[in-house]
C-alpha cells in the first residue's frame, strides 16, 4: 500500500492528502435540510448529511489527489450512524482509487492492539468466514505504550500489505509537554522517531517503508531533524493551512527525491467555500471551492519544493 501511495503521488504530482473531517457546521444548509427531511434531526440524519457532503467533495477532487484521511472522531461522535458514514466514505474513496488513511490514533497492547489492527486494516475470522470490517489502507497509531502496542499492528500490516503512521511530533501547541522533554539530552520525539525507523525496517516497500510517522507542519525545524532520523519513513504532515503551516515551511519534510512527505489539509479544503478567497463559489458549489483549494495547495507546495 505504501507503493500505491507513492505511485498515486507521482501520478498526481500532489504530495497532499485531503482530511475528511466533517463538522455539521461545515455542511451546507441544502445538504443538511435534505438529510434531515429524510431522516429527521437524528444521528442517522447527521450520518447521511456527512456522507453526502463527503461524496460531493470526493467526486470533485479525486482525480487531483492521491489520498484522503478521514478523521474517525468526527464520525464516532454521531455514534453507530456516524460510523456507518465513515465506512461508506472509506469504501467510496477506495472505489475511486484513493489511498485511505484512517486517522484513528488507536493504541493499546497485545491482543487489544491486534483487535484494532484487524478491525481497521485486516480481516476478522468468524467461524469459517472472514470479513474486512473497516478496511482502511493506513491507520494512525499512538506510540505511548511502546513496542507491545505497535508490533501487533505491524503483524497485521505485513499480512495485508497495509501501513501505519505513528504519532511522533504532533502539530498542536502543547505537544511539547511530553514530546519535547529531553531524555539523555535529546527530545523524546527523536527517540520515538528512531523507533519508527527501526519498526519500519521490518516492513519495507520498494522505496519507502510501510511504517510512517506523523510530524506537525507547525514544527518545521523538528521536521528537518526527523526527516534524517527516519529516511525511509513517509511523513504525514498535519497542520497545513488552518493550523498555520505553509508550503515554504514544509520543504524539509521531503527527501531530495521530492518524495517522503504527504501534507494534510482538512478544514482548508472541505470548508473552503467559507473562506473569503473562495466565496465566489457560494455554498451551493462548495465542492468546486474545495477543488480550487486543492489546486492552490498543490501549487503552493510544489512551488516551494521547486524553489528550495
Active site residues: 105
Where does this chain touch its own copies (CB under 8 A) — which range of 8-16, 74-82, 251-259, 280-288? 74-82
Residues between 245 and 284 that touch its own copies (CB under 8 A): none
Residues 40-69 that bind its own copies (CB under 8 A): 41-43, 45-46
Q: Does 136 bind its own copies (CB under 8 A)?
A: no
> Minimum CB separation from its own copies for residue 120, in Å?
8
Query: Which residue, 99 or 168, has its beta carbon nearer to its own copies?
Result: 168
Is the CB of 84 or the CB of 294 nearer to its own copies? 84
CA distance 141 to 132: 19
Q: Which of residues 149-178 bind its own copies (CB under 8 A)?
A: 149, 167, 170-178
Q: Which is nearer to its own copies, 3 or 202 (CB)?
A: 202
Contacting its own copies within 174-233 (CB under 8 A): 174-179, 181-184, 188, 191-192, 195
Query: How would DSSP label each residue in 36-104?
Result: HHHH-SSHHHHHHHHHHHHHHHHHHHTTT-SEEEEBTHHHHTTHHHHHHHHHHHHHHHHHTT-EEEEEE
Q: Confirm if 304 and 248 have CB atoms less than 8 A apart.
A: yes
Site for its own copies in 83-112 (CB under 8 A): 83-84, 87, 105-112
Binding residues for its own copies, rule CB under 8 A, total 72
Q: Binding its own copies by CB under 8 A: which of 10, 79, 97, 279? A: 79
Longest dimension (CA), the chain: 60
Tell me if 34 contacts its own copies by CB under 8 A. Answer: no
Minimum Å gap between C-beta 230 and its own copies is: 16
Distance in Å, CB of 236 to its own copies, minimum = 14
Provide the mask over 14-33, with x wherever binding to its own copies is found by CB under 8 A and - wherever it is not: -------x-xx-------x-
The answer to whether residue 38 forms part of the interface with its own copies (CB under 8 A) is no
Per CB under 8 A, which region of 73-81, 218-226, 229-237, 277-285 contacts its own copies?
73-81
Residue 110: all three cell numbers together: 497485545
- Of the pair 15, 81, the CB lying nearest its own copies is at 81
Shortest distance, CB of residue 8 to its own copies, whole angstroms?
25
Select from 76-84, 217-225, 271-279, 294-302 the region that touches its own copies (CB under 8 A). 76-84
Choose the stretch contacting its own copies; rule: CB under 8 A; options: 75-83, 157-165, 246-254, 284-292. Answer: 75-83
> Closest separation between CB of residue 246 and its own copies, Å?
20
Q: Which is nearer to its own copies, 9 or 85 (CB)?
A: 85
Residue 180's alpha-carbon distances to 83, 175, 191, 308, in angstroms, are 34, 7, 10, 27
Amino acid at each position: 500500500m505504501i507503493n500505491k501511495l507513492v505511485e498515486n503521488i507521482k501520478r498526481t504530482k500532489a504530495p497532499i492528502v485531503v482530511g475528511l473531517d466533517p463538522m455539521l457546521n461545515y455542511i451546507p444548509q441544502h445538504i443538511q435540510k435534505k438529510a434531515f427531511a429524510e431522516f429527521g434531526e437524528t444521528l442517522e440524519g447527521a450520518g447521511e448529511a456527512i456522507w453526502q457532503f463527503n461524496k460531493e467533495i470526493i467526486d470533485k477532487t479525486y482525480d487531483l489527489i492521491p489520498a484522503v484521511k478521514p478523521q474517525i472522531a468526527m464520525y464516532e461522535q454521531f455514534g453507530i450512524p456516524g460510523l456507518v458514514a465513515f465506512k461508506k466514505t472509506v469504501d467510496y474513496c477506495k472505489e475511486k482509487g484513493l489511498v485511505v488513511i484512517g486517522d484513528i490514533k488507536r493504541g493499546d497492547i497485545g491482543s487489544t492492539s491486534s483487535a484494532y489492527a484487524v478491525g481497521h486494516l485486516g480481516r476478522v475470522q468468524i467461524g469459517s468466514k472472514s470479513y474486512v470490517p473497516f478496511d482502511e489502507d493506513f491507520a494512525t497509531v499512538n506510540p505511548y505504550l511502546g513496542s507491545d502496542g505497535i508490533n501487533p499492528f505491524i503483524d497485521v500490516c505485513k499480512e495485508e500489505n497495509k501501513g501505519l503512521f505513528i504519532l511522533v511530533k504532533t502539530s498542536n501547541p502543547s505537544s511539547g509537554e511530553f514530546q519535547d522533554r529531553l531524555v539523555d539530552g535529546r527530545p523524546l520525539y527523536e527517540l520515538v522517531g528512531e523507533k519508527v525507523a527501526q519498526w519500519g525496517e521490518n516492513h519495507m516497500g520498494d522505496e519507502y517503508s510501510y511504517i510512517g510517522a506523523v510530524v506537525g507542519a507547525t514544527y518545521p525545524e523538528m521536521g528537518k531533524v526527523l526527516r534524517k532520523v527516519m529516511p525511509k519513513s513517509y511523513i504525514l504532515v498535519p497542520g497545513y493551512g488552518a493550523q498555520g503551516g505553509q508550503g515554504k515551511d514544509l520543504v524539509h519534510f521531503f527527501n531530495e527525491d521530492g518524495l517522503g512527505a504527504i501534507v494534510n489539509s482538512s478544514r482548508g479544503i472541505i470548508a473552503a467555500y467559507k473562506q473569503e478567497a473562495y466565496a465566489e463559489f457560494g455554498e451551493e458549489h462548495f465542492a468546486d471551492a474545495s477543488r480550487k483549494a486543492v489546486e492552490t495547495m498543490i501549487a503552493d507546495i510544489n512551488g516551494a519544493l521547486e524553489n528550495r
